[in-house]
Homo-oligomer: A and B are copies of this chain.
Amino acid sequence: MKKNVLIIGAGAVGAVVAHKCAQNSQVFGSICLSSRNLENCQSVIRSIEARNYRREESFQIFARTVDASDSAQVANLIRETGSHIVINVCTAFVNMSVMDACLETGAAYIDTAVHEDSSVMNAPYPWYANFEWKKREQCAQKGVTAILGAGFDPGVVNAYCAYAARYEFDSITSIDIMDVNDGSHGRFFSTNFDPEINLREIIEDAGCLEDGEWRTFPHHSRTTDYVFPEVGEKKLYLMGHDEVHSLSKHIKGVETVRFWMGFDDHYLRCLEVFEKTGLLNHEQVTTSCGQSVVPLRVLKACLPNPASLAPDYTGKTCIGTLIKGRSKGENKEVFIYNVCSHEETFADVGSQAIAFTAGVPPVAAAMLVAQGDWDVKGMANVEELPPLPFLKLLSRLGLPMVIRKDTKADASAPSELICA
């Protein structure tokens, strides 16, 4: 039986998820795209209909309003739509209410980022253990599949690590996830996904596992340079990121797990102005007119809608994992990565590459759940699942994995296309 899917969130990532589901209507039954804002959903559906994807006759897609922070509302919508799988690409503040609705109804749950409490900055380590992992037992008892962090990073990079652990290494000692966007959107300043989530995470302390110890550093206080395939040398900054925590628990023997992101100087100058003037404050302030407002939400309202960047976006992203360890008695390093072109993703689904890289993997995960490969009847982070079906499917969906074994090479050094 084809599986019905409920997508929660109709932002830039939700739009990619909906498009990719529509492109793969052989797997899915009905698709319900839901959001607090119905017009956002309808706009995505109009875009899908304008594209005339080849579709199964039985396939249908429709829009619904939902407040995803209200678990009962989500459960009702799951029941009403007969959804078997929920893809949660809404703000990370609602993960737990959506997961509770899945536990109540038995639907499979897939998300792309760890839960956050909107009132807490620098959420205390251990991140997954504060919220999601507390429900692990319950998922197993009820036989509810819950795939955590199935975007690109976390998500695909976790699968790269699982692949490396199975096929490239006898033991892994160090993982450096590196994420750069060499694209240009032509705006003065924009985030590439929800500014509220993005700007919060960027100014949080950078937590990492180093030499077996959990360490934290002030944001943007540690940098490294790396010569990436295709996009060349980039300056990267240490950041805390969901997968650093789960990989540190699930990749046996690993001593170092770090996440690095590329930022250009203009972006950092703007960020400094926002931060130092208090515009990234997530707590209410009172204006001289007596209105209570959250500055970060106002900044978000001023910034471009990330979904609007796509038509003008040029260039590429490169996201990968530099993995070090031992293989056949020798030290070994590999860089496993994907390069994604903003123009190509726009041609494919009308979105920029950052939304595309985040939105395609949960669709691949949903397809694997629908087909049984990943329908594990319990909770799992991506690195705990068999990587090959996921990586092969991602190649077909537009995110091919490449492996470079000469990791100190220049940008044009040859790489090996895997899982194509």
Contact = CB atoms under 8 A, between A and B. Distances in A.
Contacts of A302: 277-279, 281, 285, 295
A50 interface: no
Interface in A268-296: 269-270, 273-274, 276-279, 281, 285-289, 291, 293-295
B279 A299 contact: yes
Contact of A270 (B196, B277, B285, B303): B277
B293 A291 contact: yes
Interface in A296-326: 297-303
Contact of A293 (B188, B301, B303): B301
A286 B269 contact: no
27 contacts: A188-B276, A188-B277, A189-B273, A269-B269, A277-B302, A277-B303, A278-B303, A279-B279, A279-B302, A281-B302, A285-B298, A285-B301, A285-B302, A287-B293, A287-B294, A287-B297, A287-B298, A287-B300, A288-B297, A288-B300, A289-B297, A291-B293, A291-B297, A293-B298, A293-B301, A295-B301, A295-B302
Of all A-B residue pairs in the complex, the 6 with the closest CB atoms, nearest first, are A278-B302, A188-B276, A273-B273, A298-B298, A287-B301, A287-B297
Contacts of A288: 196, 297, 300-301
A301 B273 contact: no
User: Which of A285, A286, A301 counts the most B-chain CB atoms under 10 A from its CB?
Assistant: A301
Given A269-B269, A269-B273, A277-B299, 5 more contacts: A279-B279, A287-B297, A288-B301, A289-B297, A291-B297
Contacts of A277: 188-189, 270, 299, 302-303
How many chain copies?
A: 2
Nearest to A274: B273
Interface string A183-213: 0000011000000100000000000000000
A281 B299 CA distance: 11
A196 B274 CA distance: 17
A287 B291 CA distance: 13
Nearest to A297: B287
Contacts of A269: 269, 273
A418 B47 CA distance: 74
Contact of A295 (B189, B291, B298): B298
Contacts of A289: 297
A151 to B, nearest CB: 20
Contacts of A279: 279, 299, 302
